[in-house]
Amino acid sequence: MLENLAPQPADALLALIKLHNADPRDSKIDLGVGVYRTAQGGTPVFKAIKAAEARLLDTQISKAYLGPEGDMGFVHALIPYVFGTDFDRSTVEGMQAPGGTGAVRLAVEVAKRSGIKRLWMGTPSWPNHAQIVAAVGVELKTFAHMTADGFADLDALKAALASAEPGDAVLLHGCCHNPTGVDYTPAQWDEIAPLLVERNVLPILDLAYQGLGDGMDEDAYGLRKVLSVVPEALVAYSCDKNFGLYRDRVGAFYAVTSDATALTNAMANGATIARASWSMPPDHGAAAVRLILEDVELTAQWLAELDDMRDRMRSVRDRLAAAQQVGTINMAPLGVQNGLFSMLPLNGEQIMAIRERHGVYMAGSGRINIAGLTDGNIDQFIAALGDVAG
Ligand code: PMP
């Protein structure tokens, strides 16, 4: 039977890591993989996480099963950070998921079980979104996320909503859009939220980078605005970037509705899906996050570390934007974009040329990881960009 299996395309970003590792040049620059890097180029464990892990080691007395919903202390401790401190707790419930990926999967599966047949999404998007939607068996409809000059294309979203049917779903990135870094502004969210109500569509809000853009509350503006007006929504959340937990797979899936029975059933369906997929989410990272959020000092330490990350990315963006015009590329939008990623308008040939001539590794889409740039390599990067985009 197994001979019937078709080969699968290699993951482009993993292939890029291999190419980067094999490049002997000391001056090579890795802008590919989507993890935060310090000014020294590392991705260290947060100090707050280390402290929480030490505490966990000392105090955890059992590793017995928790259940498909995982650590509910973790799930609930996150609620004020995501939804705001004055959010009506009776209208939200959640469960732990293996990373934001598991949370997106649960959201799309639960949407499908509730009768959703079509899902609208701006493109380009995180490539796994389309894969998950296809794997669940929901029809994907796309619209442009970004204008040619590097800003959010609100008209495209409005046109998509105008042709959406009541009962369709719309997937929106909460902040720090992957791969473009282009977020809707607060004023645009103010326009989007009532349209979601008017069109009677189910919002699925994916918040994978809270705190990496403008701040914890600022980055939740869109999500909170939408939730202040829509009757129901699903949320996929990741702690893998804002707690630096990547491989520990820490995420949460939330449903929001004032219909108590619907809320119970959303969770019951989520639990059934989890049971048949991964049974229970991995505990360690979520337990560490819970310990941080239960402790005032650790929380302050975590938020300070997150501030440092955000400040560093903002200063890299400021440096890039200050270059103004590099060859054919207008650098100004990079300064107002958010989070780990931006997309440069380079064609395939230029992306190959910057790799071969200058050792700069970026995704084939032109996506760059802002945190791959440091004081030590940013001028070299801008010069390389000028060479290939001249
Ligand atoms: N949503 C978006 C928009 C992402 O970019 C990512 C991953 N980088 C995820 C969800 C999933 O994150 P995780 O690593 O927690 O699965």
Mean pLDDT computed over 155-182: 98
Ligand 1: nearest atom to the Cα of 98:
16
Instruction: List the domain boundaries for the chain.
Output: 8-45+297-388, 65-294
Cβ-Cβ contacts under 8 Å for 192 (sequence gap 6 or more): 154, 157, 172, 184, 222, 225, 226
User: In the structure, how many helices (H) and strands (E) does the chain have?
Assistant: 15, 13
At 150 the pLDDT is 87
Q: Which long-range contacts (CB under 8 A, 24 or more apart) does 188-195 make?
A: 188/152, 188/154, 189/221, 189/222, 189/225, 189/226, 190/225, 191/154, 191/158, 192/154, 192/157, 192/222, 192/225, 192/226, 193/225, 193/226, 193/228, 193/229, 193/230, 194/229, 195/158, 195/161
Ligand 1 binding pocket includes 302 (Cβ within 6 Å): no
* Contact indicator for 330, 345 with CB cutoff of 8 Å: no
Centre of ligand 1 from the C-alpha of residue 59, in Å: 30
CA 47 to CA 190: how far, in whole Å?
Answer: 37
DSSP readout, 193-247?
HHHHHHTT-EEEEEES-TTSSS-HHHHTHHHHHHHHH-SEEEEEEE-TTTT--GG
**Of residues 48 and 149, more confidently modeled:** 48
Architecture of domain 8-45+297-388: Alpha-Beta Complex (3.90)
Does 65-294 carry CATH code 3.40.50.150?
no
Pick the atom of ligand 1 nearest to 251's CA. 15
- Cα 385 to its chain centre, rounded Å, is 26
Tokens of 98: 């293996």
Instruction: Read off the tokens for 205.
Output: 């809000």
Q: For residue 206, what are the CA distances in angstroms to 101, 287, 288?
A: 10, 22, 22
**What's the pLDDT at 63?**
96
Write down the mean pLDDT value for the chain: 97
- Determine the distance separating the centroid of ligand 1 and the alpha carbon of 135, expressed in angstroms: 17
Q: Is 206 a catalytic residue?
A: yes
pLDDT of the residue at 149: 85
Query: What amino acid is encoded at 91 in this protein?
Result: T
What is the distance between the alpha carbons of residues 215 and 192, in angstroms, rounded to a whole number?
Answer: 21
Ligand 1 centroid distance, CA of 127 (Å): 10
Measured in Å, residue 146 CA sits from the centre of ligand 1 at 19
Q: How far, in Å, CA of 137 to CA of 286, rounded?
A: 29
> Of these residues, 208, 286, 288, 389, which one is catalytic?
208
- Cα-to-centroid distance, 328 and ligand 1 (Å): 31
R_g of the chain, CA atoms, integer Å: 21
Ligand 1: does its nearest atom lie under 6 Å from the Cβ of 104? yes
- pLDDT tens-digit profile of 7-43? 998 888 888 999 999 999 999 999 998 999 999 999 9
What pLDDT is recorded for position 10?
A: 83
Q: What percent of the chain has pLDDT over 90?
A: 97
Q: Is 210 in the pocket of ligand 1 (CB under 6 A)?
A: no
The response to whether residue 281 sits with its C-beta less than 6 Å from ligand 1 reads no
326-349 residue pLDDT tens? 999 999 999 999 999 999 999 999
Q: Is 55 exposed, middle or buried (0-12, 13-18, 19+ CB in 10 A)?
A: middle
| Atom number in ligand 1 closest to CA 239 | 15
Q: What is the pLDDT of residue 12?
A: 85
Under 8 Å CB-to-CB from 163, ≥6 apart: which residues? none
So what's the pLDDT on residue 283?
Answer: 98
| pLDDT above 90: residue 146 | yes
* pLDDT recorded at residue 27: 94
Is any atom of ligand 1 closer than 6 Å to the C-beta of 32?
no
110 in contact with ligand 1, CB cutoff 6 A: no
| C-alpha 236 – ligand 1 centre gap (Å) | 9
Does the pLDDT value for residue 316 go beyond 90?
yes
| pLDDT tens-digit map of 248-294 | 999 999 999 999 999 999 999 999 999 999 999 999 999 999 999 99
Which atom of ligand 1 is closest in space to residue 173's alpha carbon?
3
pLDDT of residue 390: 84
277: buried, middle or exposed (CB in 10 Å: 19+, 13-18, 0-12)?
middle
Instruction: For ligand 1, pick from 35, 108, 240 the residue to mutate: most ligand atoms within 8 Å of CB.
Output: 240
Q: Separation of 242 CA from ligand 1 center, angstroms?
A: 11
Q: Is the distance from the beta carbon of residue 100 to the nearest atom of ligand 1 less than 6 Å?
A: yes
Given the residues 120, 126, 189, 302, select the one marked as catalytic.
126
Band the pLDDT of 350: cuts 50, 70, 90.
very high
Active site residue 126: yes
